[in-house]
A and B are shown apart, each in its own frame.
Chain A
Amino acid sequence: MNVAGGLRNSLGIEDPDGFYASLIGLHEGLTAEESDAVNAKLILLMANHIGDRRVLDEILARVASD
């Protein structure tokens, strides 16, 4: 069953623990505002890389429903 709709459910990130550590590392020593700015840039870059509007809409809907 694909509870996540059309979004990829299985792991797509290579070396997930390493990626997560890098992600957390980005925020080390930042203020809340700086962290928000970093996250905003991250989201825009990742969204542009995904590109596909249907996928992006599905992600937006998934997050909005929480």
Chain B
Amino acid sequence: MIEHDDLGKAARAGGSARRTYPFAEPPELRSSAVTQHPVVIAGGGPVGLATALELARHGVRSVVLEKRDTVGNGSRAICWAKRTLEICDRLGTAERMRERGVTWSVGRVYAGPSPEPVFSFDLLPDKAQKFPAFVNLQQYYAEEYLIDQLSEQPEAELRWQSEVVHVDSARDGVMVTVRTPAGAYQLYCEYLIAADGQRSTIRGMLALDLEGRGFEDPFLLVDVKMKASFPPESRFWFDPPFNPGQTASLHKQADDVWRLDFQLGRGVDRAQALAPEHVEAKVRGFLGSEADFAYEWVSLHTFQCRRMARFVHGRVIFAGDAAHVVPPFGARGANGGLQDVDNFGWKLALILRGLAPGSLLDSYDAERGYAADESLLSSTRSADFMTPQGAASRAFRDAVLDLSQDFGFARRIVNTGRLSVPCTLDGSPLNTEDQEKFSRRHRPGAVCRDAPVVIDGVEGWFLERLGGQFVGILFTDEGDIGAADYSALEGRPIPVGSLTVKPPGASGKGVVIDRDGLLYRHYDARPGTYYLVRPDQHVAGRWRRFERGKVEAALARATGRQTESRRSPEGG
């Protein structure tokens, strides 16, 4: 979101003081030599920190430059989606996020004065997965956990109070000028990751811009700390008595912090909206005049739906809010940013190790651009429903809400934000399309779905067995069909791990037992079915029978080493 403002000292004093991190004088300041780095990351938010961790997992060194001396002030991003938790699980922070955060999957929508919801929904009908639909947690916790993980990674270096003030982009790398309290210095890197947020200074330095649409209606975001007995659900109101004619929402976070979000209506003066007495009136109108609470964070924002036309500019890669900005209600900001990292991390590692051409990054632009477009379209539609522009739009909106009490179809049209689900990368140049009949769910480009498994008698989750490198999954109900041929892919320069999945009740050493038969169902698998899965757990290709030549061709395609005879990607 854009345009943050603090309420002032009252809000800041309430905000939990986060740990600060010391400035350490880098070696560059003691020497005139310019140091060389494979990757420099501008921005120490969730996207920048996750990038460093993801690259370290692939053995790639990086330096993170963060201009402040602490994590983000205020709660900021709070709804971490299942896909993000799956990604963070590989980075080593998901369990801590879940432990500290508030797990929820139920949402309720209210309209008018009625205390009964117009309808409720469950975002995770399939509970047989390791992670829930959402964990609500203040962004600073998510960042602190990533920082803790990074401190154990010798490949990653985090430099505080280090601000990128100039970039000089060349054909084979980028010269980065860094300002610190002890002076300025330069770093040379093969790739620069611009993870410096929606107001990205690097975007400005390269004279690039975000394109898209902004909405006028301002929203007041207030995080308060209080003891309350509200259930841990997402609640959304249209036209409630405490905010007539407008919307409001409520989310629970860790440490008894609650996020209140009030639509203010057009033409509201910003300064007036943020005046302490106005904020107080809004909050008390909602919580009651007797409510006992303390401010954590106050901010004003308007809906923004914008993206850069391209995310890769020579050796500079834009990710997260620097590349695309969406309104907060779909939980698509930080969640989208982490999927960016998950997408380009393995590609960059392959390129830096000389195993894939630099052009593989074009697929990051195509795939995450497609995902950003999907998010932007969804967010724009939600914003149009929540803040109808014009009388006709408002009349239809109100008619939908009215009908939604009696008609199921209308409830499906009510739009309070279509919450973040992972994008299926349809039309990606890395996909090898189906040549045999399969159900569409796990088509090439889709992200793998989790399910409970048993391996050597130990219960676990399917997704824990995937990720980091390419994996071939062979579904079988007997001995190892063509096992020699199949495992021979393991020792290649770009290795393909092998997993054998057997139906419930089967056995075998190191074999994945599909405990409840869900994998066979989700993946439309029959004995002999083989899936090639990318390091980011997206399906690269699938076949009814393992054929080495076909799998190798798909691997070449998925790593940008073979691109002939393809239509251009739909989303590119």
Contact = CB atoms under 8 A, between A and B. Distances in A.
Contacts of A7: 407
A38 to B, nearest CB: 8
A17 B388 CA distance: 14
A27 B381 contact: no
Given A3-B406, A21-B381, A16 B392 contact: no
Contact of B418 (A12, A17, A32): A17
Contacts of B389: 28
A27 B409 contact: no
B409 A12 contact: yes
A32 B391 contact: yes
A8 B378 CA distance: 26
B51 interface: no
Contacts of B385: 20
Interface of B, secondary structure class, is helix
Contacts of A48: none
A8 B396 contact: no
Interface in B368-387: 378, 380-381, 384-385
B359 to A, nearest CB: 33
A23 interface: yes
A8 B406 contact: no
Given A20-B385, A27-B393, A9 B415 contact: no
B27 interface: no
Interface in A36-64: 39
Contact of A11 (B393, B408, B415, B418): B408
Contacts of B402: 66
B392 A35 contact: yes
Interface in A1-30: 3-4, 7-13, 16-17, 20-21, 23-24, 27-28, 30
A30 B392 contact: yes
A27 to B, nearest CB: 4
Given A11-B412, A16-B412, A17-B381, A24 B393 contact: yes
B392, B406, B407: most-surrounded residue (chain A CB, <10 A): B392
A3 B385 CA distance: 25
A23 B412 contact: no
Contacts of A30: 390, 392
Contacts of A21: 380-381, 384
A4 B413 CA distance: 17
Given A27-B392, A30-B392, A35-B392, A20 B407 contact: no
Contacts of A27: 390, 392-393
Contacts of A66: 402
B311 to A, nearest CB: 25
Nearest to A19: B413
Contact of B409 (A3, A8, A17): A8
Contacts of A13: 409, 413
A58 B369 CA distance: 46
25 contacts: A3-B406, A4-B407, A8-B409, A9-B407, A9-B408, A10-B408, A10-B409, A11-B408, A13-B413, A16-B412, A16-B413, A17-B378, A17-B381, A17-B415, A20-B381, A20-B415, A24-B384, A24-B388, A24-B392, A27-B390, A28-B389, A30-B390, A30-B392, A35-B392, A66-B402
Interface of B: 378, 380-381, 384-385, 388-393, 396, 400, 402, 406-409, 412-413, 415, 418
Given A11-B412, A17-B413, A24-B396, 19 more contacts: A7-B407, A9-B406, A10-B409, A13-B409, A13-B413, A16-B409, A16-B412, A17-B381, A20-B381, A20-B385, A21-B380, A21-B384, A23-B396, A24-B392, A27-B390, A27-B393, A28-B389, A39-B392, A66-B402
9 tightest A-B contacts by CB? A27-B392, A35-B392, A11-B409, A11-B412, A9-B408, A24-B393, A3-B406, A10-B408, A16-B413
